[in-house]
Amino acid sequence: MSRISVDTVKHVANLARLAITEQEAEKFSKQLDAILTFAEQLEELDTQNVKPTSHVLDIKNVMREDVAEKGLPVEEVLKNAPDHDENQIRVPAILE
């Protein structure tokens, strides 16, 4: 059985906010299925008592003094915004 059906691909694409065509969904279904089949070789390993590694450094919760620092100037930040009005970024209406 296929691990990733065309419907699953469409569902995942929606979660990831990607619009995909029927054709793309079929192509990605095959490719992702092959990758996941390959990845399932990890099941051969017994990892019951193995702690997961999220990163390799022996560092946790790096804190700094709670002192306010100047952020980036608003006009600079807006420079890359595709659409803005005064000091706000404009997007299509969310509420009717």
- Provide, rounded to whole angstroms, the least separation between the CB of residue 17 and other proteins: 4
> How would DSSP label each residue in 9-36?
HHHHHHHTT----HHHHHHHHHHHHHHH
Q: With respect to other proteins, which residue has the nearer C-beta, 1 or 93?
A: 93
Please enumerate, as own/partner, the contacts of 1-8 that have beta carbons within 8 Å and a separation of 24 or more: 2/29, 2/33, 3/32, 3/33, 3/36, 3/37, 4/28, 4/29, 4/32, 4/33, 4/36, 5/29
* 74 sits near other proteins (criterion: CB under 8 A): no
Q: Does the protein bind other proteins through residue 43 (CB under 8 A)?
A: yes
Q: What is the DSSP letter of 44?
A: G
Q: Which of 55, 67, 68, 85 binds other proteins (CB under 8 A)?
A: 55
Q: Which 1-30 residues touch other proteins, going by CB under 8 A? A: 4, 8-9, 12-13, 15-20, 28
Name the residue nearer to other proteins (CB basis): 52 or 86: 52
Applying CB under 8 A, among 22, 23, 45, 85 the residue interacting with other proteins is: 45
